[in-house]
Amino acid sequence: MLSQSDKGGADRVLYILSVFAKIERPVTVAELITLTALPQSTLYRQLTLLKKWGFVFEVQGEYMPGPRCLPLAWGFNHSSFLLQHARKDMLALSTQTGESVGILVAVEDVAVCLDMVESTSSLRCSFVKGRSLPLIRGASAKSLLAFLPPAKQQAVVQQAIAQGLLNTAQAEQLKADVITVQQHGYAVSEGEVDDGVWGVSAPLFQHKNSALGVITLMAPTARASPRAQQLIHATVRAASSISSTLAALLD
């Protein structure tokens, strides 16, 4: 419990994070009030701040450590709601195809890699566990961007333009690509993030049109091109399986 000398906002934030570090399951606000002895209004205020920065993740009123905790604590994968229910299909997809498979989520304007199952063959790829990249290029980024709220999509694109990461023509192309992803239900890219790397990414849903994250398969272009449709089909099927598992938890 917080002492009288530790009542500042920063102390409260760190205290809440320390409580999350001690538990290994999602918790409700009511449980957090009991665990922290903080007033409900104070707790909501701190949780909103932690969610904004990606240190806390909320699903259906339950809270758990968020992806920004990953670089600080590799134990995140043991308590992550998404990874808990995606890991089996990740492993199956990697085993079936022989390629690298990752789970990524959107945090603010970046795509964060929560976990990777590495291919037995070598692959030089920017996405490794815990790393983040701008939410504007590659199959993973486009698949994540496509299922963000429209206002958030626009904010991401405008910020990328302001930072010099996109010019006007590239921004318009990105918007068109996002529409294509929404129509097809997956994104494909080649060499957009890493030279010689092909990728396919499909969203993971618990609620319709609101993606919790994406599953992405990555492979050298030379190895992927002859069987691109096979890899796309396998990835979309894995995403559908994970989404069905997530949706069933609401029943």
Is 233 a residue whose pLDDT tops 60? yes
What structural domains and CATH numbers belong to the chain?
Answer: 9-71 (1.10.10.10), 80-248 (3.30.450.40)
What confidence tens digit (pLDDT) does each residue in 161-207 have?
998 999 999 999 999 999 999 999 999 999 998 889 999 999 999 88
CA dihedral 29, 34, 37, 38 (to 10 degrees): 10
Strand order from edge to edge, sheet including 56-59: 27-28, 62-65, 56-59
Residue 79's pLDDT is what? 41
Mean local confidence (pLDDT), 66-78: 57
CA dihedral 160, 164, 168, 170 (to 10 degrees): -70
Residue 189's pLDDT is what? 95
Is 29 a residue whose pLDDT tops 60? yes
Q: How far apart are CA 164 and CA 152, in angstroms?
A: 18
Residue 194's pLDDT is what? 86
130: confidence class by pLDDT, cuts 50, 70, 90: low
Q: How far apart are CA 27 and CA 15, in angstroms?
A: 15
Which residues, in sequence order, are CB contacts of 184 under 8 Å at separation 6+? Answer: none
